[in-house]
Amino acid sequence: MYCLIVEDHPIYKEALEKILGEIFSDIVIRTASSLKALQDIVETEKDFDLILLDLTIPGIHGFSGVLYLRGQYPNTPVVVISAREEAAIIQEAISYGIKGYISKSADKQAIADTLNDVLSGKCSFPPNIDAETEIDESYRQMAQQISELTNKQFQVFTLLTEGLSNQEIANTLFVSLSTAKAHVSAVMKILGVKTRSHVAVIARKLQLEDDVDI
| Domains along the sequence of the chain with CATH | 2-119 (3.40.50.2300), 137-206 (1.10.10.10)
**Per-position b or e across 52-63, b if 16+ CB within 10 A of its CB:** bbbbbbebbbbb
pLDDT in tens, 41-75: 999 998 999 999 999 888 887 788 898 898 889 89
pLDDT, tens only, 114-129: 999 999 999 999 888 8
Strand, helix or coil for residue 130? coil
Q: Which amino acid is at 191?
A: L
Beta strands in 27-123 (DSSP E): 28-32, 50-53, 56-57, 60-61, 78-82, 100-103
Task: Let me know if 124 is exposed, middle or buried by CB neighbors in 10 A (0-12, 13-18, 19+).
Answer: buried
pLDDT of residue 214: 39
Residue 213: its pLDDT value, please? 42
Q: What residues contact 78, with CB distance under 8 A and at least 6 apart?
A: 51, 53, 66, 69, 70, 97, 98, 99
Helix (H) or strand (E) holding 159: helix 151-161
Considering the entire predicted model, what is its pTM? 0.83
| CA dist 50 → 4, 20, 178, 191 (Å) | 6, 11, 38, 28
CA distance 84 to 82: 5
